[in-house]
Amino acid sequence: MLYYLTKRLGLSAVVVCLVVLVLFSLLHLIPGDPATIALGPRATPEAIARYAEKMHLDEPVWRQFMIYVANAATGDLGLDVFSDRPVTAIIMERIGFTLALVGTGMGWAMLLGIPLGCLAAVKPNSWLDRITGVFSVGTIAVPSFLVSIWALLIFAVHLRWLPAIGAGEPGDLGDQVSHLILPAFAIGLSWVGYLARMVRASMLEVMGENYIRSARAFGLRPRRVIFGYALRVAILPTITLIGMGFGGMISSTVFAEIIFARPGIGKLIFDAVTARNFPIVQGAVLVATGLYILVVLISDILIAWFDPRVRESL
Amino acid sequence: MKQTGLSRRGFLGTTAALGALGLTPGWTTAAFAQTGGTLRLRIDGDNDVLDPGFMTGGTEIEAQKQCLPFLAQYARDGETFTWEPSYFVTKLEQRDATHIDFELAEGLVWSNGYGPVLASDVKFSYERMKDSDWSGYFEALDHVEVTGDRTGTIVLGKPFAPFIMITLCHGPGAVLSEKAMADVGDRFTTQFPAVCGPYTYEATPGQRAVFTANPEWTGPKPAFDRVECNVITEVKAAELAFEAGELDCTEVGADTLARYTKNMPDGTAIAVAGELQYMWMGMNTEHPKLQDIRVRKAIQHAVDVDTILQGAYSGTTAKSHGIICPGLTGQRDSAGYGYDPAKARDLLAEAGVSGLQLTLRTLNNQERMLAAQIIQANLMQVGITVKVLPLDSGPFWEMGQESKGDTWQDLELWLMRFGTTPDPYEATQWFTSDQVGVWNWERWTDEEYDRLYEEGINETDPQKRHDIYVRMQEIMENTGAYVWINHEPEAFVHSTEIGVNAAPSGELNYRRFTKA
C-alpha cells in the first residue's frame, strides 16, 4: 500500500509540473505583449515597465519559469496584478465556497442517483426502470448552465422562493445554505443521471453473480442481499466516477458561480481571464488541478480500502 | 490494510447526510427581503485598488466618491454636462486661465483620528498624482499653493480649460489625508486609511462591498444608511438579480434596454447616465486600396448606419455625427454625408475601382459582429467584398500601433469604440499628428486640426470652444476615413422607489441617490 501511495503521489507531482509548464507557456503564446494585455491599451509606458519588472517579464522566459516554479513550491503563487495581494490568499478566500458547492451538488446527486440505480437494477425493464432511464438520460443531456438559468428564472425570479445571487451573509448558516440550494441543484442534476446509470449497470452485473444467487438460495431477505452484498461490490466503479466527477465539478462550477454570482474558484478564474490577470489565472488553475488530482487519488485509495482484490493486487 | 473506525457504510452515510443538509428546506430566510434604509446595487468586480493614483478605474471611483472629499462634482445644465462646487468647498473659482481658488468647508474631519481636512491635504493629494498611473490628468498642474488652513490655489503650468471638469470631478480628483497616507507608506489598496464622507467602506472579496453611515460625518445625510454593492461580473446575471428583486438598480445591456423600453414592468424605470462612448468605422488612408479619397467617401455613403443601430443595437443608441458625444460642447447635429448607395457607386466608378476586396477587423463581441455583418452586406451592394475578421482584445488593441509590430500596414477597415470624459478635449487628443501610429490609425495629419486642438484646450469661452470642436470633426470627416456609427448609453434599470445619480461616464454616486 505504501508503495502504491508513493507511486501515485509521484505521478501526481509529474502531472502538476506539466500543468505548471502548460499554464506558463499559454501566457507567452497569447498574442500581444503580456504587460499591455494585463494593464489595458491605454496604460502608460511607465506603468507597463513597472508591471514587467514586478512580474519578471523582462527576464528570459526560462528564468521566469524557474522563478515561478521555485515560488510555487513554497506556496507563493505571486501577486495579484491589480491589488498586489498574494494570489494564495485570494484563492484561499474563495476555495471554501467552491468546495461547499461541489460537496453539496455531488452529495444530493449521490443521495438520489444511487438509490435510483439500485431500484432500476432490482426491477429491470419495469416501468420504474424505464422512467429512471428516461430521467437519467434527460438530466445527463441538459447542460448545467441551462439548468442554472432555468432554476434561477423559475425559483428566484418567478416564484421568489430562493435567493438569486451571492453566497449569503457571512456567519448566517441558514442564509448561506439557502444561497447554496439553486447552484447545487444545477451542478448536481446531471450527476443524478450519471450515477443512476452507472449503479444500475454495475448492479445488474453483480446481481447475476453466483454468490448473490447463493445468498438468495440461503433465504436472505432481498433488502439484505441488495444493500448488504450486491451494492457493496457494485458501488466500487461508482466511487471512481464520483471521484472524477468531484474533480470535474470543481472546474465546471464556473457557470453556476457566474450565473448565481457566487464567489469561488471558477468565477475567480473567469474574472481573472477577463481582466487578463494572469497570476490569478495560473494560481487558481494550478490549485484546481491539484484538487482534482487529490480527489482522484482519494477515490483510488478508497477503492483499495473497500476492495480486498484491489489491495492484494497492489 | 488495517480496519479503521470509518466503514464504507459510514462513509456513504456521512456523505448522504451532507448532501441532505444542502437540500433541507425551511432555511430560505429573509435573505432577499427588503431592509429599511439599504440600497442594493451591483459592482462588476472587486475594488482592487482604492488609491486614486493607482486604481484601475470603474467602481473604485464609485467608492472614492462616497468616502473621500472632492472639490467639484458633475451637474447638468439642460442637456449639457457641467460642474458645480461640491459640498466639501465653500468656494471653487477659476480666477484666470491658470489659477483656481478654493476654500474647504468648515467641520470636515478625517476618520481614525486624523483631524480636520486641510488645504495641505489637497496640495499633497494633487501633487502626488503627478507621479501616479493617472498622471495624464494632472499634466497641466504646476503646484497647489496653500494660503490658509482651509484655503489654497491650484496653479496650472499652462491654461487647461477642462481641468475642473475632467480632473477635479473625476476619480483622480479625490483628496486624501496626508497624515494617514504617511502612516500607510504612501500607498493603499483595498482599505481607505482615512475617510471623510457620508459612508465608511468594508469589502468581502468576491462577494460585496458595503458602505455604512459614517458616524463622524457632519455633512448632509444620504438617503440610505447602508449601501450593499454585490459583486456580479455578468450584466445578464445582474439583470436577473434585479428581476428577482435582489437589486434596486443595475446597469443593463442594449438588448435588455430595448426590452424594457418596449414593455416597462410595473415599479421599474430606466435612467441614462450619459452616452460617452463613440464608435466609428475607420479607414487607413495610407493603404494602397484606400489612398484615393473617392473610395473612402464612397464607403462613407455606402454604409447604412440606421440599419446598424436597429439591427445590432435594437435602436437603443444615439446616432453619431462625430467623436464628440451627446451632452458635450462641440457635438454636431448632423454628418456631412448620408446613406446613398448610388452616389457610392458613382464615386467608385469615378475612381476607376471595381472588384474591391477589403478586410474589416473588429472585436469579437455580439454587437460589433452584427454591425460588421451589416456593413459587409451594405458594401456588397456597391460592389465591395468585405471579409470580417473578428479579433480578441489583445491583438485588436495593438493592430494599429507601430510599436507593436507591422499589422498597421495591413489595416484597411476596422470598427473602433473609444470612451471619453465629459469634455470634448479628450476625444480629440487621439487624432493629432503625433498620434499617427499610436491611436490615429487612420494615419492622416492636418495642421489646422493640430492648431485647433491646442486652442480648444486653452479656450474658456463655451461658444468658441463649441465652434473649435465642430470644425475639428469636420476636418476628420473630410478625410473620408470615418463612418460615424453611434454613442452607446450607460443605462440603468431601477426601482421607481429610488432616484439614481450617476456620472456621465456611468459611475454611480450612492450618496446622491434619493428615495421616491
What's the pLDDT score for residue B32?
A: 35
Task: Pick the residue of A165, A254, A276 with the most B CBs within 10 A to test the interface with B by mutation.
Answer: A165
Question: With an 8 Å Cβ cutoff, are A44 and B135 in contact?
Answer: yes
Print the domain residue range for A23.
Answer: 2-73
Please give the distance of CA A208 from its chain centroid, rounded to a whole number.
34
What's the rounded Cα separation, in Å, for the pair A62 and A251?
29
In this predicted structure, which of A141-145, A206-210, A273-277, B185-189 has the lowest mean pLDDT? A273-277
Is there a single domain that holds both residue A39 and residue A104? no
Q: Give strand ranges (E) for B87-207.
A: 89-96, 99-104, 141-146, 151-156, 199-204
- Closest partner residue to B8 (CB to CB) among A163, A274, A306 is A306
Q: Does one domain contain both A105 and A245? A: yes
Does A200 lie in the same domain as A115?
yes
Task: Give the whole-number percent of chain B exceeding pLDDT 70.
Answer: 93
Q: Is the pLDDT confidence value at B131 over 80?
A: yes
Contact B16 A162 (CB under 8 A): no
C-alpha cell, A39: 494593464
DSSP bridge partners of B227 = B39, B211
In the predicted model, is pLDDT for residue B505 greater than 90? no
Distance CA B411, CA A19 (A): 37
A36 and A163 together in one domain = no
Residue bearing the bigger pLDDT, A307 or A153: A153
Burial of B510 (0-12, 13-18, 19+ CB in 10 A): buried
CB neighbours of B441 closer than 8 A, spacing ≥ 6?
B282, B284, B399, B400, B408, B411, B414, B416
List of residues 6+ apart from B256 with CB closer than 8 A: B235, B236, B239, B493
A168 in a structural domain: yes
List of chain B residues whose C-beta atoms are within 8 Å of the C-beta of residue A304: 1
Task: Give the residue from chain B lying closest to A80, CA to CA.
Answer: B48
Mean per-residue pLDDT, A60-89:
85
- Find, among B175, B164, B121, B119, the residue nearest to B141 by Cα: B164
Q: Give the one of B8, B19, B27 whose C-beta lies nearest to A107's C-beta.
A: B19
The pLDDT value recorded for residue B59 is 85
The residue-averaged pLDDT of A200-207 equals 91
Residue B81, pLDDT > 50, answer: yes
Tell whether the model's pLDDT for residue B408 goes beyond 90.
Answer: yes
Nearest-Cα distance to chain B for A83, in Å, is: 5
Interchain pair B233, A261: CB under 8 A: yes
User: Tell me, what's the pLDDT at A17?
Assistant: 84
Mean per-residue pLDDT, B489-498: 94
A101 vs A58, residue with greater confidence = A101
Query: Is there a single domain that holds both residue A58 and residue A150?
Result: no
Pair B72, B173: CB distance under 8 Å:
yes
pLDDT digits (tens, 9 = 90+) for B451-464: 999 999 989 888 99
Q: Do B397 and A36 touch (CB under 8 A)?
A: yes
* Residue A152 burial (CB count, 10 A): 26
State how far the Cα of B392 lies from the Cα of B111, in Å rounded to an integer: 45
B22 to A108: CB separation less than 8 angstroms, yes or no: yes
Which 3 state secondary structure label does DSSP give B351?
helix
Owner of C-alpha cell 483510488: A300
Looking at the complex, does the CB of residue B34 fall below 8 Å from at least one CB of chain A? Answer: no
Nearest to A295 by CA among A252, A235, A245, A223: A245
Q: What is the pLDDT of residue A196?
A: 93
Distance from CA of A123 to the nearest CA of B (A): 23
Report which of B115, B173, B125 is spatially closest to residue B149, judged by C-alpha positions: B115
Task: State how many domains chain A has.
Answer: 2
Q: Which residues pair with B269 in a beta bridge?
A: B494
What pLDDT sits at residue A227?
A: 83
Residue-level pLDDT at B478: 97
Question: CA of B23, closest CA in chain A: separation in Å?
Answer: 6
In chain B, the percentage of residues whose pLDDT exceeds 90 is 73
Q: Do B1 and A1 touch (CB under 8 A)?
A: yes
* Interatomic CA distance for residues B402 and B439, integer angstroms: 10
A203 is a domain residue: yes
Residues A52 and A147 in one domain: no
Query: How much is the CA Rg of chain B, to the nearest whole Å?
Result: 26
Integer distance in angstroms from the first to the last C-alpha of chain B?
A: 71
**CB contact residues (below 8 A), chain B span 184-223, against chain A:** 189-190, 204-208
Query: Which of A107, A174, A305 is nearest residue B22 as measured by Cβ atoms?
Result: A107
At B14 the pLDDT is: 40
Q: Is the domain of A63 the same as that of A121?
A: no
Residue of B nearest to A164 (CA): B241
Q: DSSP string covering B383-399, please? A: T-EEEEEEE-HHHHHHT
Give how far Cα A111 sits from Cα of A145, B11, B12, B18, Å: 22, 13, 9, 10
pLDDT at A314 over 50: yes
How high is the pLDDT of residue B331? Answer: 95
Beta bridge partners of B493: B250, B270
Q: Which of A73, A99, A121 is the last residue of a domain?
A: A73
| A84 within domain boundaries | no
A309 Cβ neighbours under 8 A, 6+ residues apart:
none
Q: Is B32 on the interface with A (CB under 8 A)?
A: yes
DSSP labels, B290-336: G-SHHHHHHHHHH--HHHHHHHTTTT-SEEPSSSSPTTSTT--SS-S
Q: Are A219 and A252 contained in the same domain?
A: yes
- Provide the number of CB pairs (under 8 Å) joining chain A to chain B: 173
Report the candidate in A299, A32, A166 with the shortest Cα–Cα distance to residue B232: A166
- Percent share of chain A, pLDDT over 70: 94
Q: Is A179 in contact with B31 (Cβ distance < 8 A)?
A: yes
From A14, A46, A73, give the residue that closes a domain. A73
**A299 in the same domain as A171:** yes
- A44 falls within a domain: yes
In this structure, is residue A190 part of a structural domain? Answer: yes
| CA A77 centroid distance within chain | 21
Question: pLDDT tens for residues B35-74?
Answer: 448 999 999 888 989 999 988 777 899 999 999 999 999 9
Q: Tell me, what's the pLDDT at B67?
A: 97
Contact: A107, B28; criterion CB under 8 Å: no
Assign residue A149 the CATH number of its domain: 1.10.3720.10
Q: Considering the domain boundaries, does residue A83 fall inside one?
A: no
Q: Which residue has the cell 434599470?
A: B493
Whether A59 is covered by a domain: the verdict is yes
User: Nearest-CA distance from A160 to chain B in Å?
Assistant: 7
Q: Do B32 and A160 touch (CB under 8 A)?
A: yes
Question: Of A46, A73, A100, which residue is a domain's last?
Answer: A73
Give every CB contact of residue A211 below 8 A, 6+ residues apart in sequence: A229
Chain A residue with CA closest to B22: the answer is: A104
CB B396 within 8 A of CB B389: no
Please judge whether B28 and A178 are an interchain contact, meaning their C-beta atoms are less than 8 angstroms apart: yes
Average pLDDT over residues B339-367: 95
pLDDT for res B373: 97
Residue pointed to by grid coordinates 470535474: A248
Write out residues 240-279 of B within 8 Å (CB-CB) of A: 240-241, 243-246
Q: Which residue has the higher pLDDT, B219 or B29?
A: B219
| pLDDT per residue as tens digits for the range A207-258 | 888 988 898 898 899 888 888 888 888 888 888 888 888 877 887 788 899 9
pLDDT at A40 (0 to 100): 67
How would residue B78 be classed by pLDDT, with cut points 50, 70 and 90?
Answer: confident
Task: Give the separation between CA B134 and CA B131, rounded to whole angstroms.
Answer: 8
pLDDT(A47) > 90: no
Asked if B90 contacts B219 with a C-beta cutoff of 8 angstroms, the reply is no
Q: Kindly determine whether residue B19 and residue A275, on different chains, have CB atoms separated by under 8 Å.
A: no
pLDDT-derived band of residue A31, with 50, 70 and 90 as boundaries? Answer: low
- Our CA dihedral for B357, B361, B362, B364, rounded to 10 degrees, sits at 100
Q: Does A58 fall in a domain?
A: yes
Average pLDDT over residues B350-376: 95
User: Do A27 and A96 fall into the same domain?
Assistant: no
Alpha-carbon span A98 to A249, nearest angstrom: 9
Model confidence at A286: pLDDT above 70? yes
Q: What angle do CA B143, B146, B151 make, to 5 degrees?
A: 125
Compute the average pLDDT of residues B306-335.
94
In this structure, the answer to whether residues A171 and A124 fall within a common structural domain is yes
Label residue B26 by pLDDT band (50, 70, 90): very low
How far, in Å, CA of B123 to CA of A298, rounded?
A: 61
DSSP string, B178-243: HHHHHHTTT--SSS-SS--SSEEEEEETTTEEEEEE-TT--SPPPS-SEEEEEE---HHHHHHHHH
**Of residues B1, B27, B189, nearest to A177 (C-beta):** B27
The burial of A301, by beta-carbon neighbours within 10 Å (0-12 exposed, 13-18 middle, 19 or more buried), is given as middle
Residue B4 has pLDDT above 80, yes or no: no
Q: Any idea which of A234-238, B142-146, B345-349 has the lowest mean pLDDT?
A: A234-238
Split at pLDDT 50, 70, 90, the class of A41 is low
Please check whether residue B322 is in contact with residue B484, taking contact to mean a CB–CB distance below 8 angstroms.
yes
User: What is the maximum span of chain A, computed from C-alpha positions, in angstroms?
Assistant: 84
Statement to judge: residues A45 and A170 lie in one domain: no
